[in-house]
Amino acid sequence: MASTMEAADIAVVAMYFVLVLCFGFFAMWRANRGTVSGYFLAGRSMNWMMIGASLFVSNIGSEHFIGLAGSGAASGLAVAAWEFNAILLLQLLGWVFIPVYIHSGVYTMPEYLSKRFGGKRLKVFFACLTLLLYIFTKLSVDLYSGALFIQESLGWNLYVSVILLITMTALLTVTGGLAAVIYTDTLQAFLMISGALCLMGISLAKVGGLEGLHTRYMNAIPNITAIELKSNVTYTNSCHVLPKPDSFKILRGPMDKDLPWPAFLLGQTPASIWYWCADQVIVQRVLAARNIAHAKGSTLMAGVLKVLPMFIIVIPGMISRVLFADELACISPEHCMQVCNSKAGCTNIAYPRLVMNIMPVGLRGLMMAVMLAALMSDLDSIFNSASTIFTLDIYKMVRRQASSKELMMVGRLFVVFIVAVSIAWVPFVIELQGGQMFLYIQEVSDYLTPPIAALFLLGVLWKRCNETGAFWGGIVGFLLGATRLILAFVYREPDCDTTDDRPSFIKDIHFMYVAAVLFWVSGLVTVVVSLCTNPPSKEQIATTTLWGLRNRNTHADAHSKEKGDDDKLHQISEETKKEKTSDDVEMKPSSQVVQTGPEILPNGHLESQHTHKHAGRVKRRCVKCLDWFCGFSKSSEEVDSAFGDEIRSVTEMLREPPKTKIVLNLGLLLVCTLGVFLFVYFSL
């Protein structure tokens, strides 16, 4: 096995780094980073293609390449259900949630909760919970999976590699804001898909296509006798090494350990609403769209791209098991430790092992660049979204009079803090990870996020839902979920050669069934408490619910002509003011210019004005360069709006030409049909 890459591979990786940095600095040069909207929402100027690509790569991080491929090697196609589910939930985001978010004029999801329900406790609770989820699930798993691939391919020191990657990613995020993130995501989407398609084609050719894969995967059994003689280990029957009979089905029986279909539909699907419709990483990108048409177009594009992971990640993972069954399907915890330093299993190394063994020189470097692209795109997305939440939902609540420049500086410093915490958490991640990484991510999330999904659904769809009901529904769900999560860590799954004496409610109840209980209990508590207390005010639901949005659309046509006349009058007024200002500048007498003489130095000599001017020019140039690098501008300090920028009217953002609306709705029908078809076809 090739443990290190050749010079040509290293050259490809180096070219990738240079290309991404150049692309990022180009984005910094073009982007409006001098305002809060420009830094955190890219000035709401992005088109649907760039946002769609950014949505895809923000979701498909290095943990997907490691986790999806690992689960494919361990249990077959079942893990692709999450990808097909996303096809449908992305459209729920574009057609239901995003119009409401735009209508309410929010930047962050905690801010939406504050506007919808009033008060601060829900906003602070959700902001803190989101940041914790980012640090201890997303960031930690990303770092572990990225380090795992680097170890397999380059043999570099794990911590040095992680620090270099995080530092480079944070540099682009701190200086460039969301615009730089989306621009670089677009480049990385092209690299990621191209490299993964190359690997898929080469690996399928190795096993004889999809038909050959079906036959050989079901026979991908390790040579137990040879392993026992070579590695001096003993096989235990309780360590399952045979492929599962339903490996080529997605939705499986109600008691299946990987994907029971009732639990997935009733528990995992509602819980996933948090990630696709209320998570800052995803929503922030769609809010950067020029208007609602581009927002919907981006979710359609991302939905189509979500078909790819099953073919470019899951199937290569299954092929890796076919080619390296003796290593991936380890026969005992001791054997697993020898192969990958994890007693829980070695399927997580399926994708990097495939890359390093079947890809030719040069293309191995391309795949390394693909993994770096996945890791960096995920990290920069989390860094930017975490800084947005902390700055606008926590810091601004404490410092209400903070200037736009101060808010952007705090956001950048918080990214540095996140980087430090992430690096410090890496050793703990290495100890905690093992087995099927992707299912680990879903399990932790499913214990904490279903109540959040219930709150957002009820908040958007049910106008009677109030702050008291939402708060207690969220608290009850969070306490139940946190208790179950703690018990899951206390009663860890034992090694496969050890008797499992955990309580029945821990080992026999799938985590997706728990998610279903948390979602519906939280929703029920919210409904009951809301009905028993006072309804929310009309002001709270006017712009923050789907019904308020529909009422606005109903009255929009009646006021469109009047608004058009007002806009013309406003434009004429602005032009008149500009002309008046210009005339005042031209008529300003030269006598108002103050003349300054030379300055007397301590030694008695005179310092000329020329010396002062030269020093001032040098200083101003240095300050100007620093301000450009950080995205500060004079105009950002002079704006008096609450967020330091001019926000376009909601009417303009929500305007949708009739022909465009028809095209988008047809696209919606086609994409949803595609998602349902894939579920049915691969589950029969």
pLDDT in tens, 442-499: 888 899 999 999 999 999 999 999 999 999 999 999 999 999 989 988 888 787 778 8
Q: Name the pTM for this structure.
A: 0.81
Confidence of residue 239 (pLDDT cuts 50, 70, 90): confident
The residue written with tokens 């049915």 in the block is 680
Q: Which residues contact 538 (CB under 8 A, 6 or more apart)?
A: none
Which one-letter amino acid corresponds to residue 296? K
pLDDT greater than 90 at residue 435: no
d(C-alpha 186, C-alpha 67), whole Å: 23
Task: Name the CATH architecture for the domain at 9-541+662-681.
Answer: Up-down Bundle (1.20)
Confidence of residue 556 (pLDDT cuts 50, 70, 90): low
d(C-alpha 240, C-alpha 639), whole Å: 65
Helix (H, G, I), strand (E, B) or coil at 535: coil
Mean predicted confidence (pLDDT) in 50-65: 85
The residue written with tokens 């595609």 in the block is 674
pLDDT per position as a tens digit, 172-211: 555 545 556 667 777 778 888 888 999 999 999 999 999 9
pLDDT at 495: 78
Which one-letter amino acid corresponds to residue 604? G
Q: Among residues 88, 96, 139, which one has the least CA distance to residue 306?
A: 88
3-state class percentages of the chain: helix first, strand second, coil last, to nearest 5: 75, 0, 25
pLDDT greater than 80 at residue 147: no
pLDDT at 171: 63
The residue written with tokens 């409401």 in the block is 100
pLDDT at 44: 66
The residue written with tokens 């329900």 in the block is 117
pLDDT greater than 60 at residue 254: yes
Q: Which residues contact 591 (CB under 8 A, 6 or more apart)?
A: none
The residue written with tokens 């990613």 in the block is 169
Average pLDDT for the chain: 79
pLDDT at 572: 47
Pair of tokens at residue 444? 């932790």
Mean predicted confidence (pLDDT) in 388-416: 83
Angstrom CA distances, 610 to 3, 592, 603, stand at: 64, 21, 19
The answer to whether the beta carbons of residues 319 and 207 sit under 8 Å apart is: yes
Better-predicted residue by pLDDT, 155 or 570? 155
pLDDT at 428: 65
Confidence of residue 43 (pLDDT cuts 50, 70, 90): low
Pair of tokens at residue 99? 């119009």
* Number of C-beta neighbours around residue 328 at 10 A: 28
The answer to whether the beta carbons of residues 285 and 54 sit under 8 Å apart is: yes
Q: Among residues 409, 251, 239, which one has the least CA distance to residue 329?
A: 239
The answer to whether the beta carbons of residues 16 and 373 sit under 8 Å apart is: yes
**If you ran DSSP here, which 8-state letter would residue 545 be given?**
S
Q: Among residues 184, 178, 122, which one has the least CA distance to residue 382?
A: 178
**Which range has the worst mean pLDDT, 10-24, 509-523, 615-629?**
615-629
pLDDT greater than 50 at residue 599: no
* Number of C-beta neighbours around residue 429 at 10 A: 18
Mean predicted confidence (pLDDT) in 219-241: 85
**Which range has the worst mean pLDDT, 283-287, 571-575, 640-644?**
640-644
* Number of C-beta neighbours around residue 500 at 10 A: 13
Mean predicted confidence (pLDDT) in 551-561: 59
pLDDT > 70 in the chain, percent: 76
Which range is most confident: 31-35, 82-86, 431-435, 537-541?
82-86
Confidence of residue 632 (pLDDT cuts 50, 70, 90): very low
pLDDT > 90 in the chain, percent: 33
Helix (H, G, I), strand (E, B) or coil at 252: strand
pLDDT at 589: 45
In what helix (H) or strand (E) does residue 203 lie, and over which residues does it extend? helix 158-207
The answer to whether the beta carbons of residues 482 and 448 sit under 8 Å apart is: yes
Confidence of residue 427 (pLDDT cuts 50, 70, 90): low
Handedness of CA 496, 501, 503, 505 (dihedral sign): positive
The residue written with tokens 């009677």 in the block is 464
Long-range contacts of 337-345 (CB under 8 A, 24+ apart): 338/231, 338/233, 342/433, 342/434, 342/435, 343/434, 343/495, 344/434, 344/435, 344/493, 344/495, 345/74, 345/434, 345/435, 345/436
Better-predicted residue by pLDDT, 507 or 381? 507
Mean predicted confidence (pLDDT) in 71-89: 94
pLDDT at 178: 52
pLDDT greater than 50 at residue 387: yes
pLDDT at 404: 78
User: Measured in Å, how far apart are the chain's first and last C-alpha atoms?
Assistant: 38
Pair of tokens at residue 540? 């709270």
